[in-house]
Structure 1
């Protein structure tokens, strides 16, 4: 029972802190936008799925095994 009370206090502490933020909300918005740019846009344009391009027809396992043996 004491463990639940401590977890409840910690949860309420963070909830109250986020509700009382003014500048922090803008900063969190900027952080989330930057993460979206990094993980979504950069991945689409700069990191193509090379395995899908090299291993045609769903033979990814065979392609990887062949590359490991040949190298």
Structure 2
């Protein structure tokens, strides 16, 4: 069973583009889609252990 659900935004633990989960399966594989630098849609399956939820960086205010 996957820890992710369709529509989750994720990123590889090693970095890279943000991706959207488009499919999961009981074997722990997560199908992700994203747009590359040429605005072409890409799709790849990853083991769920290789990805993490994407957390947008927060900006610290300047006083």
TM-score for both structures, normalised by structure 1: 0.15
Q: Which has the higher contact order (CA 8 A, sep 6+)?
A: 2
Rg comparison, structure with higher value: 1
Q: Per residue, is there more helix in 1 or in 2?
A: 1
TM-score for both structures, normalised by structure 2: 0.16
